[in-house]
Structure 1
Amino acid sequence: MTAWVRGLVQGVGFRWHTRARALEIGGLHGFAANLADGRVQVVAEGTRERCVRLLEWLREGDTPGRVDGVTEIWDTPRGGYPGFAVR
C-alpha cells in the first residue's frame, strides 16, 4: 500500500510517529518520506489487515500535525525493505 498524506505533516514528527505505529502494528516493512510538495508518502508492505490498520491510523489516529486527507493505492508487494524506515 502506498499512501500520500496531505496537511500539516512535515516538521512535526509525523514520519517518526508513522514508523512507531508501523512497528507497533508489527509485520510491516516500508518507509515514510517527506515529499517536496509538503505531503508525506507512506509505503507499507505486509498483510492487508496490517496495512489497513496503518491506513486507518493515518486517516483518523492521533497523529502529530494535521491530516487534511489521505489518498492510497494498493499494489503487489515488491519486497526489498528490511524494516520500516524514515526517509
Structure 2
Amino acid sequence: MIRKHIYFSGRVQGVGFRYQAAYYARSLGLTGWVRNLSDGRVEMEIQGREPLITQLILTLKNQPYIRIEGIEYQEIPVESGETKFSTRFSY
C-alpha cells in the first residue's frame, strides 16, 4: 500500500473532476481526499495499491471535458486507519 500527494493541472475545475475522482476512488476501494485550489489546480491525496491508483488516474484522463495537462506527485507516509475517500472544500 502507498499514499501519493498529487497536483493536477489543466482543465480540471468546473468539469466534474472531484466528483469523478471520488466516484472512481471509492469504486476501487481507495482512500484519501480531493479538493480544488485557488490557482486552478486540483490537489489529491490517494492511498491504496499502486496499480489501482494508476488505474484511477488513467480513468480520469479519459473522461470527457477533463483535460489533465500536468501531474506533480510525491509518495508520502501511509495514513493508517483511513477508511474513506472524501471531497474537501476548496482551499
Q: Same fold (TM over 0.5)?
A: yes
Query: Which amino acid in the other structure matches residue 12 of structure 2?
Result: V
Number of residue pairs the alignment of both structures matches: 85
Cα separation, partners in 2 of 1:49 and 1:29, compared to 1, 3 Å: same
Q: Structure 1: which 5+ runs fail to align?
A: none
Q: Which one-letter code corresponds to 1:9 in the other structure?
A: V
Aligned to 1:73: 74
Shift in Å, 1:21: 1.1
* 1:80/1:38 CA distance change after superposition, 3 Å: farther
Residue 44 of structure 1 aligns with which residue? Answer: 46
Q: Deviations over 1:25-46 (max 9, x none)?
A: 22x1111100111000111111
Is the 1:2–1:44 contact (alpha carbons within 8 Å) kept by the matching residues of 2? yes
Structure 2 counterpart of 1:43, one-letter code? E
SS at 2:76 equivalent: coil
Query: Is the CA contact 1:3–1:42 (under 8 Å) kept in the aligned structure 2?
Result: yes
C-alpha distance in 2, partners of 1:64/1:14? Answer: 9
What corresponds to 1:86 in structure 2? 87
Identity among equivalent positions (%) equals 31
Bigger proportion of residues as strand = 2
**Could you report, residue by residue, the CA deviation over 1:27-69 in whole angstroms, capped at 9, with x for unpaired residues?**
x1111100111000111111222222223334x3325432111
Helix, strand or coil at the partner of 1:74: strand
| 1:15–1:33 CA contact under 8 A, matched in 2 | yes
- Asked if 1:10 is matched to 2:13, the reply is yes
